[in-house]
Structure 1
Amino acid sequence: MRALARAATIVCVGWTTVSPGHPALNAACGLYAQSYLLSVSPCEHRSGMQCAVITPQPSYYPCPNLRPARFRLALSGGPPARSFLNWGLMPQNSQENSQAYPRRRSGSHTGRKTPETLAAATMYTFLPDNFSPTKPKPSKELKPLLGSAVLGLLLVLAAVVAWCYYSASLRKAERLRAELLDLNRGGFSIRNQKGEQVFRLAFRSGVLDLDSCSRDGALLGCSRTADGRPLHFFIQTVRPKDTVMCYRVRWEEAAPGRAVEHAMFLGDAGAHWYGGAEMKTQHWPIRLDGQQEPQPFVTSDVYSSDAAFGGILERYWLSSRAAAIKVNDSVPFHLGWNSTERSLRLQARYHDTPYKPPAGRAAAPELSYRVCVGSDVTSIHKYMVRRYFNKPSRVPAPEAFRDPIWSTWVLYGRAVDQDKVQRFAQQIRQHRFNSSHLEIDDMYTPAYGDFDFDEAKFPNASDMFRRLRDAGFRVTLWVHPFVNYNSSRFGEGVERELFVREPTGRLPALVRWWNGIGAVLDFTRPEARDWFQGHLRRLRSRYSVASFKFDAGEVSYLPRDFSTYRPLSDPNIWSRRYTEMALPFFSLAEVRVGYQSQNISCFFRLVDRDSVWGYDLGLRSLIPAVLTVSMLGYPFILPDMVGGNAVSERSTSGGDVPERELYVRWLEVAAFMPAMQFSVPPWRYDAEVVAIAHKFTALRASLVAPLLLELAGEVTDTGDPIVRPLWWIAPGDETAHRIDSQFLIGDTLLVAPVLEPGKQERDVYLPAGKWRSYKAAQPIPMRGGLPRPALKKTAAATG
């Protein structure tokens, strides 16, 4: 073959054997006439091929049993090797066609000679430039095969397209899942480690455009709603400990003037929620009634509205399914509810509200919160309290846990004077009762806002205090944040700019409260705080006053539009500043508002109760309210006065004292609370009631107070409540989640009072474990938690 390289066109062909009669290339094949087939030899470069040296021929008829094949052949001395079809070497460069290999002169062939001789005598030859051989038509047998091939190609293409869409959907699904959270256009849900849904929330201010969502590690964010409105939305997954998973959620509108609302579903009948706020109608767990449009979540006097939130509140809710939610402090937070769908409506807005955007920021609302899921309700609550609430740094005076407080309010009202106070103290001692302290309540001053005794009512206050001290009484005084316009201190407050002002900031804002019209001290101003506390210190120094009862302090007593020395984005901060006034007098102090005030080491008093049996500020509301405030991080609780306020229009008796049976049942419950207070004295009834009061105050001193003081000491370290729900020691007990008429003191003392009129006995539910009556040494074994029937009167059991 090398010898022929410059002598002739070389054709190399591979074949497919169609007939055994054509196993090799030869003249009979019909490829070329015999006279032009100069030589046939095996192909050196590929097995299964033969090469032939040919001379030009005007026509070309491929052999039917042969198929073309590409083959690279290097011709020595010629151009670089190229790939040509097997029926001829056809250079691709036109210059090569015309110059590289000159054509053989015609007539040079004179006879048959050996290939070697011909190679020396023959000029180079080429197939013509316009050479286009006639290609074989496919046989009819190939058409079905070609159709099948096309169909198979289409099927493969369809499968590839479907896989691409499927892969894209899988990638999207991954972006919309974060650990145990599932996000969709309209909301999200959270599952626990067992795969059970424990939290569900719906977006009510718009739905997400999922195509705008992306994931970056633990952060899943979206940039617009389905209708194209821009926003900033993200969910961040945080695992603070092995047994807790938390999700930080934030929805912020890009433009001002809108409201952001999410609906948090309370779940089915087996899910129970706790927390939020003190309410006028208090239930444990939370019970929704009717529909309530979202309203500012601020401290309020519940007597102003049936739906108002009380004086103690926190943006925190807890579920029996071990989920908890804490709304961020920066949110202009409004809360409503829908009993039909069992949902709390969480809303953020700046219009028609006391909230104000931070200085320098547009009024674009943000709704942000953190949802955490744990292994059980008790452990997740402990985590949330340690993470989000402060703890008291000190413990109130031991006598406040041990002995009852005595108040002049119900017995004497605003008609209190020096003689009545001294006579009240004498009666307490005559009936052989101990006292934590004696509290002089409303209207001992000439006007509201004054800081000294009315000399007409208290002609010798110093002597009165000396006599009370000699009788073993510590005395506290009632104070408030108002200065009425007829007070001698009003002009001073205006001149020194001590009051909350109208929006222009030029004039003090006057408000109406239950004792008239006056201005409100601006506790964001350091001068106002110093002025107020300075007067309280002078009272303490002049009369040896033990402490103070700080009344009012709710945001609802601020004017609707107001300005303060330091701008308040959240008006609840004003309530918190007011509670801080009690810090120097903490040991025997009491306040009735609380917002982020868990570090104030004094007693937090429930709002005044009515002398009724029910859940509307009555006896049945007492345990639910104390449990709710305990879960909000306030361990030192004063459940107001035994028997309620005895206001005739809000009393079952219609008189100036509560109904006798109601009073006794209330006394029995109060004996087991962190603090106990009398205002209607037991001797206003009869000797039997006095004897019952002696029995339960003695029981308190011997059994309850030592445990209360022990738990109070632990609070500063753990933050755990003193008064606890039954599920605290039985988090998996469904029945314990629902009980609102029993409670625990610590983990060992269970209290089950009688709370219904005309009843002399009740069933008691004991969680699993070994229990015994506080009066008996024999334990009562319980398996799985069963009701204990017919324990007489108020029952107490220890574990």
Structure 2
Amino acid sequence: MTASKGVTTTREGGVVDVAIGRVVAGDTVLDVRRNGGMTLFKRDGSGAAQTLSAGVTAGASVVRADVLANGREMSVLWSDGTMLRAVATMELTTESSEDAWCRGITDGVLLEVNAPLDALHGAELTINLCDDVEKKSHWYGGAHTLTQLWPMERAKIETGPLYPFDHGPNGVGSVVATHWVSSSGALVFADPNNAMLHFGMNSPTESRARGSAPRYFGVGIQNLSRPSLPVEESTTPARGDGVLRLQSRANYSDAGMLHPWQNIRTEADMRSSLKLRVAVALEDDARSATREALKQLPKPDAVPADALVYKPIWTTWATAHADVTQESTLSFAKEILAAQKAASFANGSIIEIDDRWQCLYGELDFDAKKFPDPKGMVKQLHDMNFLVTVWVMPFLQEGSPACEEAKRLGYLMEGSQPPTEVGEIFNGNAGFGQILGTAVKVVVDRVDWPPGHWEGGGGGADLQPGQFRWWGTQPVRGIDFTNEDACEWFVSRLKHLQEDIGLDGFKFDAGEPCFMPYGARTRVPLKTPQEYSQLYVDKVVSKFPISEVRVAMGTNNYRGLVRMGDKDTVWGTNNGLQSLIPTLLTSAVMGYPFTLPDIIGGNAYWGQSPDSELMARWAQASAFMPAVQYSIPPWQISEEAQRASDKALQMRETLLVPRLKALMEDARDRLEPICQPLWWLTPDDPETFTIDDQFAVGRDIIVAPVVYKGASYRRVYLPRGSWREYESATVLNGERWITVAAPLEKLPVFVRVS
């Protein structure tokens, strides 16, 4: 299909297809054609047009087409039952809360696709990833993924459910948005409340063999048997389908994509037809399209607490995992102090005590054997000028007093009878990887392997109604955050712990709606899966100024840090170092400027350990991000790694810290990214569109870390303007590539020359 801006005819297979109607939204025009295809373009002919298509069955005929409101609204009905309503956003009334999410989009068009319940792909809208002129549009936004690629169309993201996951079946992660922007200025913004929302980007065109194993959601050790998704298009023999695909389906049933919400009912199950609502607009470039999207999102009322951003956060996780003790925590703190003193850093860091400080999960009492005097420990840490936080999540271990109390009060999610262990292992058309991974997880949960780490471990294999599987081995239940009393109960228990022990805040883990019991039921029925995550953040996490959370969708007003998911101790884009900057930039486009990168050096899972090079390069890549987080001490890796880390932090204190307050205030007011893609500086420069290993901080700093193993030089792109390398007086003209030396202890950083 070809489409020309401002022309109402297209050619498909040599047949002229005449537009049947036009909607004018200020400077933007939408033409709708008989086959459900659409062209969005600027009225003055500037810029690139964007082609879209409603999910109309091939060969369906137009039954009725009406243009209303002086050309600012139209509706079309096709013979297959598909109906399209297109209305200029300026026509949306302030009385309708249903339209609040897109009412403020300037010169936008709201597309509402309705389809019968039995429509094969639901109510569907596809957006071509290439524009109509240069065929080179690049796309950004949407979601964190396990394999994070920038720009997004480099990936082949299989169409699947769009809600926060801990490693979703198609690779979608814990931080999710419903808007996407292109380098040519297209904005696609889906209604966050679309029922049964599914999303795909450049999905594979090759069909998996009939009867092949499905993609599936797993936890903990199950993930060892799962591929890192999405796949990169360049690594496969076939290209993707070249479209951004959005669907509102009748239900979550999908034999090829297994996940927990296939067994949970919502109000959407009562619909008589399907409706997908998506707003589209054409801006001048990717930056203006992103800003238009960010205008629609809720804003925080304050910046993060100083302690979260001005000094590194130190967590016990990767060094101690579940074996953390009072003794090991104090020893860790003393090592940190000694290293800071040697590097002439003042303390003021947070030390976060991670997994298994509690006697039982959710009990919120320190294990007396491991922490004989937690109050005294916290005082000692405060005397060392540390703030102290602990790791918590919204699960309660079966048999704990807290769980029994919550049961009695009706504060837990209820559920149906889960599948048997055998039924779980052979769920769906299970393939070998799924069978092996699930079987190992069931055995691990049954026998509590490795043993000796957790009191009350094991017994989590044969699940009871209301229990669900997670990365630990204990049977757990989840708090029902639709119950206001349950939220207040949980918050009050956290505050009691905080006041009793002297804690300063919390690291909040989990909260994704994939951690719910089979057939989950809440006191107030959930309209969408992400509503559970939103309640967790709004009703619990937001009550604590010193906090971080890893789940986000529609919670842009949260004032703490939004953490990236756990990274593996590897180099690649498959959840390693090379995925760090793409994840940071995706967070920026989604409207989460207060990003906490994951642990420097990764999580050291499965026997992994960073060498000097990986540790040094990871520290450099993280140093200019909004916050910095360590667990593996660089001095335990090598003196070389320690020197590289210290130098990167010194550069942070010299260049970033003085600018950080103003950058955070701008982020608070407008969600303006602190760390930006290079196209944020020069959005009309095509060279910036695909750079995935550099980022800008504000308008004056370019950070270009080395993220490839063995590299001692790297190419750096300098945007338009005049620049100098840090600690150099030589002025360099921008809008060109240069090559710079980057030995292991050097982080290439460039500063704008006024």
1:634 partner amino acid = Y
List alignment gaps of at least 5 residues for structure 1: 1-169, 652-656
Whether 1:617 and 2:575 are equivalent positions in the alignment is: yes
The structure with the largest alpha-carbon Rg is: 1
Q: Compute the displacement of 1:527 (Å).
A: 1.2
**In the superposition, relative to structure 1, how do residues 452 and 331 fare at CA in structure 2: closer, same or farther (>3 Å)?**
same
- 8 Å CA contact 1:256–1:362 kept in 2: the answer is no
The answer to whether the 8 A contact 2:677-2:694 is kept is yes
Alignment match, 2:37: 187
Residues 245-644 of structure 1 correspond to what in structure 2 (within 5 A)?
245-253=107-115, 259-267=122-130, 270-290=136-156, 292=158, 294-302=159-167, 305=169, 307-332=170-195, 333-337=197-201, 338-339=203-204, 340-352=240-252, 354=261, 358=267, 362-386=271-295, 388-431=296-339, 432=341, 434-502=347-415, 509-516=466-473, 517-580=475-538, 581-586=540-545, 588-644=546-602
Residue correspondences, number: 614
Match in the other structure for 1:212: 64
Aligned to 2:21: 175
TM-score by length of 1: 0.73
Which amino acid is the alignment partner of residue 486 of structure 2? A
The aligned residue for residue 86 of structure 2 is 235
Output the CA distance in 1 between the equivalents of 2:644 and 2:619: 9
Tell me if the contact between 2:352 and 2:390 (Cα under 8 Å) persists in the aligned partners.
yes
Q: 1:173 to 1:406 in 2, by over 3 A?
A: closer
Alignment partners' CA distance in 2, 1:695 and 1:772 = 19
- Opposite residue 376 of structure 1, the aligned amino acid is D
Map of 2:434 onto structure 1: none
Please tell me whether the aligned partners of residues 422 and 464 of structure 1 are also in contact (alpha carbons under 8 angstroms): yes
Q: Which amino acid aligns with 2:36?
A: G
Contiguous gaps of at least 5 residues in structure 2: 1-15, 92-102, 205-239, 254-260, 419-463
* Corresponding residue number in structure 1 for 2:737: 787
Change over 3 Å in CA distance of 1:794–1:696 after alignment to 2: closer
Measured at CA, do residues 357 and 257 of structure 1 come closer, stay the same or move farther in structure 2, by a change above 3 Å? farther
Distance of 1:673 and 1:377 partners within structure 2 = 21
Deviates more, 1:174-183 or 1:594-603: 174-183
The SS at the match of 2:188 is strand
Given that 1:210 and 1:222 are in contact with CA atoms closer than 8 Å, whether structure 2 keeps it comes out as: no
Q: Tell me which residue corresponds to 2:77.
A: 224
Stretch deviating more after TM superposition (315-324 or 177-186): 177-186
Per-residue CA distance 1:344-389 (angstroms, 9 max, x = gap):
2211113235385648953422111100111222122212211x21
**What is the CA deviation profile of residues 276-329 of structure 1, one whole-angstrom value per residue up to 9, with x for unaligned ones?**
00000001110354572x321110011x64x23111001110110101111112
Question: Equivalent residue of 2:279, what SS?
Answer: strand
* Contact 2:63–2:79, Cα closer than 8 Å, also in 1: no
> Is this contact kept in 2: 1:261–1:346, CA < 8 A?
yes
Cα separation, 2, equivalents of 1:257 and 1:181: 25
Q: Does 1:672 align with 2:624?
A: yes
1:449 and 1:291, CA in 2 relative to 1: closer, same or farther beyond 3 A?
A: closer
Opposite residue 57 of structure 2, the aligned amino acid is G
Query: 3-state SS of the aligned residue for 1:648?
Result: helix
Which amino acid in structure 2 is aligned with residue 624 of structure 1? P
Note closer, same or farther for the CA distance 1:577–1:224 as it changes in structure 2 (3 Å cut).
same
Counterparts of 2:17 and 2:713 in 1: how far apart (Å)?
63
Structure 2 CA distance for aligned equivalents of residues 257 and 186 of structure 1 = 15
Contact 1:392 / 1:601 at 8 angstroms: preserved in 2? yes
1:32-85 CA distance string (max 9 Å, x none): xxxxxxxxxxxxxxxxxxxxxxxxxxxxxxxxxxxxxxxxxxxxxxxxxxxxxx
Distance of aligned partners of 1:173 and 1:445 in 2 relative to their CA distance in 1, 3 Å threshold: closer
TM-score (norm 2): 0.77
SS in structure 1 at match of 2:375: helix
Residues 628-680 of structure 1, C-alpha deviation per residue, up to 9 Å, x if partnerless?
0111111111101000011135x3xxxxx312210100011111111111100
The answer to whether 1:198 aligns with 2:150 is no
Corresponding residue number in structure 1 for 2:218: none
Percent identity, aligned pairs only, is 31
Deviation at 1:781, TM superposition (A): 2.1
Which residue is 1:14 aligned to? none
Conserved? CA contact 2:477–2:517, under 8 Å: no
SS, match of residue 108 in structure 2: strand
* RMSD, aligned α-carbons: 2.5
Q: Secondary structure at the match of 2:245?
A: strand
The answer to whether 1:748 aligns with 2:711 is: no
State the secondary structure of the residue aligned to 1:555.
coil
Q: Deviations over 1:671-723 (max 9, x none)?
A: 11111111000120233322222222222122111222220022222221101
Assess if the C-alpha contact under 8 Å between 2:142 and 2:180 holds in 1: yes
C-alpha contact (below 8 Å) 2:620/2:648 kept by paired residues? yes
